[in-house]
Chains A and B, each alone.
Chain A
């Protein structure tokens, strides 16, 4: 991969042009954005009520399928368009305590506070920096040539499927220092601090989906149990596919700590742009992906309300063209196919085109 280099003057105007896009949106924030997010909250809630009712009170296989469809839609919408975006602080400007990024909690086993740290701080600040951003392969997969090959990568076509089915748990353990935990180097207090919130959240989620609601359904308990399990699996696979399309298609770049030391905001923008990928589709697809279909725009402006990304995308693309940068986009299936292709290819040892291997 040939790295694009901009002259300092180019970088400066590149930064200013992107800042301008951000400032224009910020000035325009208002009623429309508030209406959008509240509408999404209501649809997700309504869908959850419909899904859980169908599972609880229905008795035909058709109502079970419809119930699962409604509940997985609810979980996907709540996690992706509402939870992810609200917890980014995208709606903090509304001063609505129900949409406050610091206190919002989502219908997911990942503890909100730990997620805010692993995602908002680590992944978004150090995006695609090897050894810092754990989203690069989730400690399980080799997603770029520059990652050193290890024997565990041989089975990554299989571990990829496993991760996608259990994706919410993968996200949930993201903030945990596994190196230390597996080597037994963690003190009791540290173990409790790192695992405690995740285990507590699992308890709450399981209590809700596998105890409380089945119990309320009386003789329909197995039906509700199975429906909730199916809805959680569907949400897991869907969010995994969407998120993998964001950074792992071919052409997405990774960086070393050395390369990114003392970077300016312009260089930070450049890294976000070169490390993120979009996919195209209908408005429904954008909403169901939490607008992560616009991963490039999201990584440039993680705290702008996500439904604005499609509106600013043409401007971002124009800036890309102007500076000779690749705006990595394609069809949804095309991008995911590219992810899978790389997953198979990188299972075998290989050398980065540019030269020497990088740590981890």
Chain B
């Protein structure tokens, strides 16, 4: 209780306009970081205390967060900020460490065109400091105990499952646990040693691997055949969007959709729309929707739909209409530049949709 009170009053002082610039947190953080880059009054920062190669293209970063870290629930992900050539980029990675542990772990697979995954692999070494956002996500274990649990993870989809598996183990879970990892080949299996060690100490845990290079893609039918009592499990599923959608559909068809929780990640860029096709644009703050024709400025399209986003010059110079594009792809009509990555700043008056979009409006 004591700490809550003091925290609130310290935040109050930090936000008071009348104390500026004495309470300029950006300036204080900048000075603090000269002493220790992980110290901050406002940001969650974490020092990289270990880097572990899980496979040829997947690497785990062991992180020691500062006191701003609020803790997390197994299955959640954390936004990670890195600066790549002057640009602050943000991507979310699932936490693969046990929730109570002092140190956090994120496990990152290198993506062919991924600016952030490549920067993490190539730039970040032991001793560096990363800025994190608050953990998010509702892909968490059900609160009531289930008799049996099935973990189904494809590719780097095993990362949140690893945190959940450790949580179940720590909680003294007595039911049967199956952990099926789907990956290209045995060289691509993540956390193999760790899983083996856990299985040795925990007889209820059964580990299985499905290698797509030799056995092909795991279809729902094959899975059900392999695991005849699939309907008895609480299933936690994480993997690429196509894979999770197939499994979810099969579970729904068998009337056990409620026994499955899933999280999907999509690696592909949003599909660009062709000329003359209309994209659906969602404003994430106001929950308003509008359609935008490709090649037409988003500002004009929003206004046609009756919305009135903040704007100024309408010719791309004043930046009044700047907003953050959460997802999707746009083209700058002045310069031809394409913005594909999530969370990039765009100017509505000179940007046209190339795909469905989510805007921070």
State whether A93 and B87 are in contact (beta carbons under 8 Å apart), knowing that A120-B318, A124-B318, A208-B20 are contacts in the complex. Answer: yes
Report yes or no: B322 in contact with A102, Cβ–Cβ below 8 A: yes
State whether A303 and B317 are in contact (beta carbons under 8 Å apart), knowing that A29-B86, A31-B85, A42-B30 are contacts in the complex. Answer: yes
Interface size class of B (residues with CB under 8 A): 20 to 34
B22 to nearest A CB, angstroms? 8
Q: How far apart are the CA atoms of A29 and B345 in the complex, in Å?
A: 15
Report yes or no: A303 in contact with B319, Cβ–Cβ below 8 A: yes
Tell me if B222 is interfacial: C-beta within 8 Å of chain A: no
Q: Which of B90, B317, B336, B337 contacts A124 (CB 8 A)?
A: B317
Tell me if A333 is interfacial: C-beta within 8 Å of chain B: no
Tell me if A98 is interfacial: C-beta within 8 Å of chain B: yes
Report yes or no: A48 in contact with B21, Cβ–Cβ below 8 A: yes
B interface SS class: loop
Tell me if A280 is interfacial: C-beta within 8 Å of chain B: no
Tell me if B17 is interfacial: C-beta within 8 Å of chain A: yes
Q: Which of B22, B83, B85, B313 contacts A120 (CB 8 A)?
A: B313
Q: Which of B18, B86, B90, B319 contacts A34 (CB 8 A)?
A: B86
Q: How far apart are the CA atoms of A93 and B322 in the complex, in Å?
A: 10
Report yes or no: B86 in contact with A45, Cβ–Cβ below 8 A: no
Tell me if B253 is interfacial: C-beta within 8 Å of chain A: no
Report yes or no: B88 in contact with A116, Cβ–Cβ below 8 A: no
A220 to nearest B CB, angstroms? 17
Tell me if B188 is interfacial: C-beta within 8 Å of chain A: no
A93-131 residues with Cβ-Cβ distance < 8 A to B are 93-96, 98, 101-102, 107, 116-117, 120-121, 124-125
Report yes or no: A124 in contact with B313, Cβ–Cβ below 8 A: yes
By beta carbon, the residue of chain B nearest A120 is B318
Please report the total number of A residues contacting B with Cβ < 8 Å.
40
Interface centre among B85, B86, B335 (most CB of A within 10 A): B86
Chain B 304-321, CB-CB to A under 8 Å as 1, else 0, gives 000000001101011110
Q: How far apart are the CA atoms of A98 and B40 in the complex, in Å?
A: 14
Report yes or no: B312 in contact with A117, Cβ–Cβ below 8 A: yes
Tell me if A223 is interfacial: C-beta within 8 Å of chain B: no
Report yes or no: A204 in contact with B17, Cβ–Cβ below 8 A: yes
Report yes or no: B21 in contact with A208, Cβ–Cβ below 8 A: yes
Q: How far apart are the CA atoms of A88 and B343 in the complex, in Å?
A: 20
B290-348 residues with Cβ-Cβ distance < 8 A to A are 312-313, 315, 317-320, 322, 334-337, 343-345
Chain A 52-93, CB-CB to B under 8 Å as 1, else 0, gives 000000000000000000000000000000000000110011
Report yes or no: B86 in contact with A33, Cβ–Cβ below 8 A: yes
A201 to nearest B CB, angstroms? 10
Contact residues in B for A207 (Cβ distance below 8 Å): 18
Q: How far apart are the CA atoms of A204 and B334 in the complex, in Å?
A: 39
By beta carbon, the residue of chain A nearest B334 is A19
Report yes or no: B87 in contact with A120, Cβ–Cβ below 8 A: no
Report yes or no: B27 in contact with A45, Cβ–Cβ below 8 A: yes
State whether A121 and B320 are in contact (beta carbons under 8 Å apart), knowing that A95-B89, A204-B18, A208-B21 are contacts in the complex. Answer: yes
Tell me if B269 is interfacial: C-beta within 8 Å of chain A: no
A interface SS class: helix
B42 to nearest A CB, angstroms? 10
Tell me if A23 is interfacial: C-beta within 8 Å of chain B: yes
Contact residues in A for B30 (Cβ distance below 8 Å): 41-42, 45
Q: How far apart are the CA atoms of A92 and B348 in the complex, in Å?
A: 14
Q: How far apart are the CA atoms of A41 and B21 in the complex, in Å?
A: 14
Tell me if A302 is interfacial: C-beta within 8 Å of chain B: yes
A136-193 residues with Cβ-Cβ distance < 8 A to B are none
Report yes or no: B315 in contact with A101, Cβ–Cβ below 8 A: no
State whether A121 and B21 are in contact (beta carbons under 8 Å apart), knowing that A94-B88, A102-B322 are contacts in the complex. Answer: no
Tell me if B56 is interfacial: C-beta within 8 Å of chain A: no
Report yes or no: B86 in contact with A89, Cβ–Cβ below 8 A: no
Report yes or no: A125 in contact with B343, Cβ–Cβ below 8 A: no
Tell me if B19 is interfacial: C-beta within 8 Å of chain A: yes
Report yes or no: A93 in contact with B345, Cβ–Cβ below 8 A: yes
Chain A 23-47, CB-CB to B under 8 Å as 1, else 0, gives 1001001111111000001100100
B85 to nearest A CB, angstroms? 4
Q: How far apart are the CA atoms of A22 and B27 in the complex, in Å?
A: 32
Contact residues in A for B90 (Cβ distance below 8 Å): 95
Report yes or no: B345 in contact with A120, Cβ–Cβ below 8 A: no
Report yes or no: B85 in contact with A101, Cβ–Cβ below 8 A: no
Task: Name 19 A/B residue pairs within 8 A (Cβ), A-sorted.
Answer: A29-B86, A31-B86, A45-B27, A89-B318, A95-B90, A96-B88, A98-B26, A102-B320, A116-B320, A117-B312, A120-B319, A121-B320, A124-B313, A124-B318, A125-B315, A204-B17, A208-B21, A212-B19, A212-B22
Q: Which 10 pairs across A and B sit closest by C-beta, in order of nearness? A: A89-B319, A34-B86, A121-B312, A120-B318, A30-B85, A95-B88, A125-B313, A30-B86, A31-B86, A121-B318
Residues on B close to A: CB < 8 A? 17-22, 26-27, 30, 83, 85-90, 312-313, 315, 317-320, 322, 334-337, 343-345
Residues on A close to B: CB < 8 A? 19, 22-23, 26, 29-35, 41-42, 45, 48, 88-89, 92-96, 98, 101-102, 107, 116-117, 120-121, 124-125, 204, 207-208, 212, 265, 268, 302-303
Q: Contacts A124-B313, A212-B22 given; 4 further ones with Cβ under 8 A? A: A34-B86, A41-B30, A117-B320, A125-B317
